[in-house]
Chains A and B, each alone.
Chain A
Amino acid sequence: AQTVTQSQPEMSVQEAETVTLSCTYDTSESDYYLFWYKQPPSRQMILVIRQEAYKQQNATENRFSVNFQKAAKSFSLKISDSQLGDAAMYFCAYSDTSGSRLTFGEGTQLTVNP
């Protein structure tokens, strides 16, 4: 079974600084999808960024980028120029290519300090 691990229950960053959230996963598949979701206090699940395993290029969405290391099964999220609105719980998630389910990590609570 696939597992996703986020080893940082909490992280904090100063406004305008950069922070990296870690995620590792375990799978025997060669093709799959990886995601980072953000859950603010409103509890809405918001997709931040996604990565297809067959793509070597790291995904980027504005201030958000990932470092995808397929051999190491690592998928970290970098947030540049952190803003107060980035404060939230961040979940790393895995999906096989059938898209049948998301397997989530435990989450990392990000605090942004002004």
Chain B
Amino acid sequence: DTAVSQTPKYLVTQMGNDKSIKCEQNLGHDTMYWYKQDSKKFLKIMFSYNNKELIINETVPNRFSPKSPDKAHLNLHINSLELGDSAVYFCASTRGDIPDHDYEQYFGPGTRLTVT
């Protein structure tokens, strides 16, 4: 069974379009994340949600809006896509309750977004 899934895995679109990437985890985790991996393979956090509440917003343009309908889902909506948004976007989740020290982040397969 897939622990963290993302759809789609590949997304090709034109500048100015609006697109969404969906993420679902079936691990019962409380915290979910979006990371961006740029063309140089550098990974950086974008957002973090805990139980549907935003806890990290890492200076990401307002065109990016995460939405968490429930704690198993964290979707990423991007408005007015730009060439520089081309990257691989990873969703991840973690349990979140520290006393168990189950702090490992489980990653989805990534979504390769190409803006033309």
Contacts and interface: CB of A to CB of B under 8 A. Distances in A.
A100 interface: yes
Contacts of B35: 102
A45 B94 contact: no
Interface stretch (B11-19, B65-73, B77-85, B102-110): B102-110
Given A43-B109, A44-B110, A102-B45, A97 B104 contact: no
Interface in A80-114: 89, 91, 95, 97-104, 106-107
A16 interface: no
Contact of B33 (A35, A47, A101, A106): A101
Given A47-B104, A101-B58, A106-B41, 13 more contacts: A43-B112, A44-B110, A45-B107, A89-B41, A91-B43, A99-B31, A99-B105, A100-B55, A100-B56, A101-B56, A102-B43, A102-B92, A107-B41
Contacts of A45: 90, 92, 107, 110
Contacts of A43: 88, 109-110, 112
Interface string A42-77: 111101001010000000000000000000000000
Nearest to B40: A106
A104 B55 contact: no
B48 interface: yes
Nearest to A50: B104
A102 B98 contact: no
Given A89-B41, A101-B33, A95 B107 contact: no
A11 to B, nearest CB: 15
Contacts of B56: 100-101
Contact of B43 (A42, A44, A100, A104): A104
Contacts of A106: 40-42
A76 to B, nearest CB: 19
The 10 lowest CB-CB distance pairs between A and B, nearest first, are: A45-B107, A99-B103, A104-B43, A101-B45, A43-B110, A107-B41, A99-B94, A44-B109, A33-B103, A102-B105
A66 B90 CA distance: 26
Contacts of A39: 41
Contacts of A102: 33, 35, 43, 45, 92, 105
